[in-house]
Structure 1
Amino acid sequence: MFYACSLHPEIGDGFANFLTDIFIDKDKNEDAITRVSAVSYVGSYLSRARFISVNIVVSVLKRLVDWCDYYCGHQLDNGVTANPIKHQLFYASCQAVMYVLCFRLRSIMDYPNLKQQLFRMRIRDILVHPLQPLKVCLPSIVNEFLRQATAASLFHAPAISMHEDAVESDLSKAFGGLNRLDMFFPFDPYLLKESDRFDYQ
């Protein structure tokens, strides 16, 4: 599918929006596993598919961030806390957003209009919400995202910096389980450990 999309940009753009539609699930037809898989696929796809335009990347990011913001707004219980199982969809979307920005933030910053759109997104509000996505998502992604976001001045509030150098926690373990990177980012390169000693040139 990845290769087919690379040959036809219109199919590639449509695939990104198709996956996003499944995750957002306006018609309430999809189960949680399908939706988590969809947002994981779109996060990995946008990160690795350099043939996808930056405009499409920002468009999908806005849809995901808006969904997360809406989700946060409906957690009306003052005692709401991080819960990797109950709020799995939320954390999967947050992790996808951060992962995409780890790979595409620099290219977005090259376009003033897209940079402005990104800066208007409520990413900071989501990350400092009591659901604490920075403590639940994979620490390596959180740390790299915060490093790049700080360098790009994406955040100006000190509340974000307190989460730098995130470490593995029981919350992040509960969210992902084993082999998190393989599970959440299916389009990542796969290292063939048994055959990498062969020369295929």
Structure 2
Amino acid sequence: MRHVTPDLVATPQGDARIHWHPAAEPHTVLALGHGAGGGVEARDLAALAASLPSRGVTVALVEQPWRVAGKRLAPAPRTLDAAFTALWPKLAARGLPVVAGGRSAGARVACRTARDLGAAAVLALSFPLHPPGKPEKSRAAELLGTGLPTLVVQGGNDPFGRPAEFPSGPYDLTEVPYGDHSFQVPKRAPLGQDEAVSLLTAAVGDWLRARG
């Protein structure tokens, strides 16, 4: 994988950072935000950044200003949305279709902002449908309201929402069997960890290629 120096992008919320993983002949840019409990080194984000450039997708891992500043707690959703909106021109500057995506809180940001930003589609990894143990506090409206082609990739044992809990709607859903919110699978599961990650990356790559 070709290394590219990250871009530091000024936003009203502070400096954000874009980690580029370029394809040689890209047809799409996939912008991926991280969750509230981790950064761009998350298992699923790193796997997509490693695998998709060979399939013509430039992956841009978006590090929110609060992480760049070394803070431990994510700010309010409106602040996350504002930072993502402010750095979007940098993501779109290459003149390619940009798919807005992310994991967990980053998936919610993508769902809320993508249409207004002119994104081509939305990728929601480990979408937090509800807080663990509180299905009555549903965030389904964010997912159902993207107004764009949307793919959800969800662990089969995700406490923030198992695939069977998701409402029907205008989106595609791929399950990673036995996976938790981080797509970690138990050691005794019939599906190994490498297989789980391969399933995830193949599903995303196939979906993006079908769109291209």
TM-score over 0.5 for the pair: no
Structure of greater relative contact order (alpha carbons < 8 Å, 6+ residues apart): 1
Q: Which has the larger radius of gyration?
A: 1
Q: Which has the larger strand fraction?
A: 2
Scaled by the length of structure 1, the TM-score of the pair is: 0.32
Q: Which has the larger helix fraction?
A: 1
Scaled by the length of structure 2, the TM-score of the pair is: 0.31
